[in-house]
């Protein structure tokens, strides 16, 4: 191993060095970052709930009721009624028998894959799956197969291979995202569901960027497509459109019982603060109301406004498929320069680089929220138009 100093020098030389920015305001469409007010187009707070006044009140109320800490893991004495209440609401929201929450989406993915799969099992992932799914697949010890992004014929040949080689009783799990976190495109879910059914495999679907955004009341993309009851392991996060923190699995009662017995991040980690669970429960109540649907509608309108006004060169090749719109740059150095240029224009849209995305596919990841104003979106479109000219010129 080279010295720490030379590792850092290497990262800088390859334009891959990262450092933490300090944000001194609450989350929102305008934030103070490193002492400067910037219009924020990089948050996953798609519905603008992270700093919603009535949710702040709900959190404070829950602190008064439950205190701040859970005291122990869920299985010891940390399973407060706020957790049980949230999981009942989540199961009703997702229309599944049961649901289980974790401290984060990352812990959800790692804990679930490691609980469901062992060394004789086979997990088949889309190449662009989130790091948490990859880490979970690795931690499980299962045999891993990867198919190129959205390449269904490759998925099919992995499934066919799995059927002929799998040990008796071995599990075959297909794992993908409904909306991809760094590309913003949607998985061909109907085809994937048909295929996993045909080969008798299970499907784990990470709806991190789809819950709150797609489907009636924000139930997710599988719900929007009428496929939710065919997805055995439905994952989502509570820190993105929900505006709070945490992750969940929704599915059959037996699946949830198995996770309670085997998911290490649940068993060996202190339960999340009960106030966060209570706040997420308040978000579900909101999503189920007309006001919640109107909020989601505002996001849809903002996305339409953006796609109509932004330069076509920016949207290449896939258009607007979700609240995530990648502006592809390629070179890491050029992506950093573009992010810096946008910051001088008053926008916070950091460059996304390796290892979050492949080398040479660096990009600006624009995200749109229900709480952006028309003026903010128009201003961004103008700046992106000028950026597109700079990049092509």
Ligand X SMILES: *Cc1c(COP(=O)(O)O)cnc(C)c1O
Residues forming the active site: 181, 209, 240
> How big is the site for ligand X, counted in residues (CB under 6 A)?
14
Contact flag: residue 292 with ligand X (CB under 6 A): no
Contact flag: residue 369 with ligand X (CB under 6 A): no
Residue 323 vs 388, nearer CB to ligand X: 323
Residue 319's closest CA among 330, 308, 334? 308
Residue 206 vs 232, nearer CB to ligand X: 206
Least distance (Å) from ligand X to the CB of residue 239?
4
Contact flag: residue 106 with ligand X (CB under 6 A): yes
Contact flag: residue 208 with ligand X (CB under 6 A): yes
Helix (H, G, I), strand (E, B) or coil at 315: helix
Residue 33 vs 208, nearer CB to ligand X: 208
- What secondary structure, in 3-state letters, does 207-256 show? CCCCCCCCCHHHCCHHHHCCCHHHCCEEEEECCCCCCCCCEEEEECHHHH
Q: Which of 42, 101, 178, 237 is in the footprint of ligand X by CB under 6 A?
A: 237
The separation between CA 151 and the C-alpha centre of its own chain, rounded to angstroms, equals 21
Going 188 to 190 to 196 to 198, the CA torsion angle's sign is negative
Residue with smallest beta-carbon separation from ligand X: 105
Residue 236 vs 388, nearer CB to ligand X: 236
Q: Which of 28, 48, 78, 105 is in the footprint of ligand X by CB under 6 A?
A: 105
Name the one range near ligand X by CB under 6 A: 205-213, 276-284, 341-349, 357-365: 205-213
Q: Check if the beta carbon of residue 158 is closer than 8 Å to that of residue 145.
A: yes
Structure token digits, residue 111: 């804990």
Strand 36-40 and strand 247-251: the pairing is: unpaired
Spatial separation of the C-alpha atoms in residues 17 and 12, rounded to whole Å: 5
Least distance (Å) from ligand X to the CB of residue 154?
20
Spatial separation of the C-alpha atoms in residues 13 and 204, rounded to whole Å: 39
151-180: which residues touch ligand X (CB under 6 A)? 177
Contact flag: residue 247 with ligand X (CB under 6 A): yes
What does the binding site for ligand X look like in residue numbers (CB under 6 A)?
A: 104-106, 109, 130, 132, 177, 181, 206, 208-209, 237, 239, 247
């Amino acid at each position: 191993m080279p010295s720490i100093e030379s590792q850092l020098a290497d990262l800088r030389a390859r334009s891959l060095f990262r450092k933490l920015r300090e944000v001194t305001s609450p989350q929102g469409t305008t934030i103070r970052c490193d002492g400067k007010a910037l219009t924020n187009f990089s948050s996953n707070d798609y519905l603008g709930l992270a700093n919603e006044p009535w949710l702040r009140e709900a959190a404070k109320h829950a602190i008064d009721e439950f205190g701040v800490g859970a005291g122990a893991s869920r299985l010891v004495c940390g399973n407060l009624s706020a957790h049980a209440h949230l999981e009942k609401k989540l199961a009703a929201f997702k229309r599944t028998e049961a649901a289980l929450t974790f401290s984060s989406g990352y812990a959800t993915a790692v804990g679930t894959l490691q609980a469901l799969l062992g060394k004789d099992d086979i997990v088949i992932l889309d190449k662009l799956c989130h790091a948490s799914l990859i880490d979970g697949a690795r931690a499980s010890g299962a045999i891993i197969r990867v198919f190129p992004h959205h390449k269904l014929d490759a998925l099919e040949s992995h499934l066919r291979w799995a059927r002929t080689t799998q040990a008796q009783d071995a599990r075959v799990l297909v794992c993908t995202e409904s909306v991809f976190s760094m590309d913003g495109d949607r998985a061909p879910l109907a085809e994937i569901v048909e295929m996993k059914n045909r080969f008798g495999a299970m499907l784990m679907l990470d709806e991190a960027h789809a819950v709150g955004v797609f489907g009636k009341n924000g139930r997710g993309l599988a719900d929007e497509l009428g496929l939710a009851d065919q997805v055995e392991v439905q994952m989502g996060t509570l820190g993105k459109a929900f505006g709070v923190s945490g992750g969940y699995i929704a599915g059959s009662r037996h699946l949830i019982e198995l996770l309670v017995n085997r998911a290490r991040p649940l068993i060996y980690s202190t339960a999340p603060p009960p106030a966060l669970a209570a706040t997420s429960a308040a978000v579900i109540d909101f999503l189920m109301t007309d006001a919640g649907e109107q909020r989601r509608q505002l996001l849809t309108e903002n996305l339409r406004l953006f796609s109509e006004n932004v330069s076509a060169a920016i949207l290449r090749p896939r258009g607007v498929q979700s609240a995530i719109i990648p502006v592809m740059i390629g070179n890491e150095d050029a992506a950093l320069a573009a992010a810096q240029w946008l910051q001088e224009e008053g926008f916070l849209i950091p460059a996304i680089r390796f290892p979050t995305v492949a080398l040479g596919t660096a990009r600006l990841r624009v995200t749109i929220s229900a709480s952006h104003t028309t003026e903010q979106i128009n201003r961004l479109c103008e700046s992106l138009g000028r950026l597109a000219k700079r990049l092509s010129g």
